[in-house]
Amino acid sequence: MAIRAVVFDLFDTLVDLSMRDLPRVEVRGKMIPTTVGRLHEVASASANVAFDHFVDTLFEVDREFRVSRYEKGLELPTLERFEVLAGRLGIGAPELPQALTDTHMAMIRDQVRIPDHHTRVLGALARRVQLGLCSNFSHSKMALDLLDESGIAAHLASVIISDAVGFRKPRSEIFESALAELGVAPDEALHVGDSLHADVAGAAPLGIRTVWITRRIPDVDAALAEHDGPRPDHIIADLAEIEGLLDPTIC
């Protein structure tokens, strides 16, 4: 079956995201790059809250949501995360969760880098097949703004973000949403992503052919050795290699 659509992951696939340059803050005795210092400053403008208490409460909320949401493949919107945090801290300022969300997302956005040739590559691909996005991310607005600002959105026929649909990869529902919006069968699609667990192991059981992009993978052999799920159909180091995979004799 010929490929009619290529569906991409977002972070570390279409764009690169590294947290290394976030402000370094001492958290529980370790210096780490994190948004938590600035988040504490924002919260402290609404109430007197000690830094350690703020961090401990945030970590407690995240642990609980890891069990109730992430381990079940369900998304946790950033705004909801901070609404729960504000409640646990006893801060009644109604504007605080949105302020925390805006601050956190602005700091994350500043860490995004877009390889120079990616928009050009997507433009060439979009002349041959439909392009879609299927991404795990907890704040749709930031992702959509990023796609618009970068020029990537102009090449996408469909955008599916876990924050909007409620499910995270590798859950089948998020991939099925992408296929439905593009109007293609699983065997007419390629899914391209950097995660063997979320992207490859999520798409393959549906019959979607998979492409593992390794540009941001430090040790490809080690990652493959540790992965006990389905193997990717194709392994590429750069987005520009995808056009060669659209030949029906290859796929």
pLDDT at residue 247 in the model: 74
| Tens of pLDDT, residue by residue, the chain (251 residues) | 799 999 999 999 999 999 999 999 999 899 999 999 999 999 999 999 999 999 999 999 999 999 999 999 999 999 999 999 999 999 999 999 999 999 999 999 999 999 999 999 999 999 999 999 999 999 999 999 999 999 999 999 999 999 999 999 999 999 999 999 999 999 999 999 999 999 999 999 999 999 999 999 999 999 999 999 999 999 999 999 999 999 765 55
- Looking at the structure, tell me whether residues 117 and 104 fall in a common domain: no
CATH of the domain at 174: 3.40.50.1000
pLDDT at residue 217 in the model: 96
Domain around 201: 5-16+113-245
Residue at a domain's end among 81, 109, 137: 109
Q: Is 130 part of any domain?
A: yes
Largest CA distance in the chain: 65
Q: Is 250 part of any domain?
A: no
Considering Cα of 133, then 225, then 235, then 15, what sign does the dihedral take?
A: positive
Structural domain count of the chain: 2
- Looking at the structure, tell me whether residues 128 and 214 fall in a common domain: yes
Q: Is 251 part of any domain?
A: no
How far is the CA of 127 from the CAs of 49, 124, 147, in angstroms? 54, 5, 19
- Looking at the structure, tell me whether residues 227 and 125 fall in a common domain: yes
Alpha carbon distance 132, 189 (integer Å) = 10
Alpha carbon distance 87, 94 (integer Å) = 10
